[in-house]
Amino acid sequence: MRLALIQSNPVVGDIGGNAAALLDAYWRACERGADLVVSPELALTGYPPEDLVLKSAFVDANVDSLRRLAGAVGGVPFVVGFVERLPGREATDLLGEYDHLANAAAVLRDGAVEAVYRKQRLPNYGVFDEKRYFHAGDEAVVFDVGGVPVGVTVCEDQWAADGPVAQAAAAGARVVVNVNASPFVIGKRAARDRWALRHTTTHGVWFAYLNMVGGQDDVVFDGDSFLMAPSGRVVARAAQFSEDLLLADIPASLAEGDGDWPEPAQRLDPDGEAYTALVLATRDYARKNGFSRALLGLSGGVDSALVAAIAADALGADRVTTVAMPSPYSSQGSLTDAEALAANLGVRHLVIPIDAPMKAFDEALGELFAGTASGLAEENVQSRIRGSLLMAISNKFGDLLLSTGNKSEYAVGYATLYGDMAGGFAPIKDVSKTRVYRLCRWRNAVEGRDLIPRAILDKEPSAELRPDQRDSDSLPPYQEVLDPILECYVERDRSVAEIVAETGLDAGVVAAVAALVDRAEYKRRQSAPGPKITPKAFGKDRRVPITQAWTLAPGATGDAET
């Protein structure tokens, strides 16, 4: 049985375009001898469709498209993910008529819908809200392909020992296909492989894991589809982070030893996966939202350097503009480092000094601010001038403005609303400062030279909003103190006491950092979306009230906004 896995990159809501791409891939697979063709979870609508499924016209359009797709399919069965409107179910809650939906996979063959499988395990955590929209199924679907019984499951269905995969095997399936829209997270591939290994070795089935690929707002899908034999050996694997059509022959005997298996391609290391995910997410956010060019402020620091490299790799150097906006506090080294990076990348680089706008603000606010010491407000004016200039260029020429803040800064509020937080997309929003350096070094190693100049990586971080300013004036050291605290507090929901016990760090420092995180929630709510690459990103993953008195840690002083 020749199995074809379509690792596609759908656009949410482009039902007609998605259907056309699926049908084209189906016939290409058939021409190459496929006996079964499979598409990802909700491949027809794109994932996640979110509240689009509350629109009756949207659901109707996807059902109509599925019927047309079925009419175009021949004798080779085609598994297609879609939103099913369930018949004969009474409305039970405020969702009313829209409470009749299932996350489903249809088996199309000979011009008709032969069977429909309904996802049984509906994730409702992190970025997932499937119980808001869908009813869970409870029945296995097993169909025949040339004498081989094949079972269908959807995504979360595989994350259970005695769940839908076991049910399909009990119903006679010798091959189980698991169709996914599984977002990328660093290290997640190992967990997927472990579950597949458990299913294959426990139930003696061939297990085909098919994942979507591409960026969708704040998530990115990594593909990395595979076929695992009953022994637990991965015998075929698709590309990471790119569309692919994986064909693999399961022997008629269903014995692994009867197959001729090519060696699966080499996988990226964790830093390579993270960097490639950020590039794909940036490319697809721009492409799917109608942007062909990107723009960013280039300070000469490491964060904007990484974003510039990501943008150039995502869109092409000829489609990226960087802008240096020096103030009287900007060092000459920052300007020359920014120029060197732009030259290395081959991007267009502009220099727009902000001395004159700063003087204009001083004059406008001079009388009101008279008699007060210069401080945070004056520093933030500089950042907001830069944000306004970048937004003006974006508005004028239609470039997508990329924010350059990292996860460590967003966590503690070391960022300026309407200043350096301005932008339409934040590529490194889920990248800690420590990982920023690692990704820069990874990119340089791939290039075989210092694409990102060594001076940028070696200098001490500074916002350069006042004389001799350093990040360490306001924050603990990133790698040794701040980022370990943030990982515990943000990603693992540890308390201050638990963090102190686990890390041995000073209790006052831990409490102060936790307080900064809590107080900065209002800023993060106003930030641009950015791709999730860690187990818990800011946004849908972490939903903490702005106004609350539970987690505010005592003992913190100061305001980290710059």
For the question of residue 155 being annotated catalytic, the response is: yes
CB 463 within 8 A of CB 469: yes
- Which candidate in 30, 41, 429, 523 is catalytic? 41
Residue with tokens 């309904």: 118
Catalytic annotation, pick one of 30, 130, 155, 409: 155
176 with 153: CB under 8 angstroms?
A: yes
Q: Which of 150, 344, 155, 131 is nearest to 254 (CA)?
A: 150
Give the alpha-carbon dihedral of 140, 144, 148, 152, to 10 degrees.
-30
CA–CA separation, 500 and 94 (whole Å): 45
Q: Longest Cα pair distance anywhere in the chain, in angstroms?
A: 88
What H or E segment, with its residue span, contains residue 23?
helix 15-31
Contacts of 394 (CB under 8 A, 6+ apart): 295, 400, 401, 424
User: Encoding tokens for residue 453?
Assistant: 């100049």
Residue-by-residue DSSP string for 253-269: T--GGG---PPPPPPPP
Name the phi and psi angles at 17, rounded to 5: -65, -40
Distance from chain centroid for Cα 369: 43
Cβ burial of 88 (10 Å; 0-12, 13-18, 19+) is exposed
Triad 535, 428, 450: Cα angle to 5°: 120
Structure tokens at 2: 């020749």
What is the rounded CA–CA span in Å between residue 549 and residue 493?
Answer: 16
SS3 395: helix
Q: What are phi and psi of 351, to 5 degrees?
A: -125, 120
Q: What one-character DSSP code corresponds to residue 301?
A: S
Q: Is the peptide bond before 48 cis (omega within 30 degrees of 0)?
A: yes
Strand partners, 402: 425
Rounded CA-CA distance 236/294 in Å is: 37
CA geometry: angle at 389 spanning 379 and 532, to 5°?
80
Residue 458, judged by CB atoms within 10 A of its CB (0-12, 13-18, 19+), counts as: exposed
How would you write 83-134 as a 3-class SS string?
EEECCCCCCCCCCHHHHCEEEEEEEEECCEEEEEEECCCCCCCCCCCHHHHC
Q: Out of 30, 119, 488, 532, which one is annotated catalytic?
A: 119
CA–CA separation, 165 and 158 (whole Å):
6
Give the residues across from 4 on adjacent strands. Answer: 37, 247
Which residues, 6+ apart, have CB-to-CB distance to 127 below 8 Å?
48, 183, 218, 219, 532, 539, 540, 541
User: 454 exposed, middle or buried (CB, 10 Å; 0-12, 13-18, 19+)?
Assistant: exposed
**Residues acting as catalytic residues:** 41, 119, 155
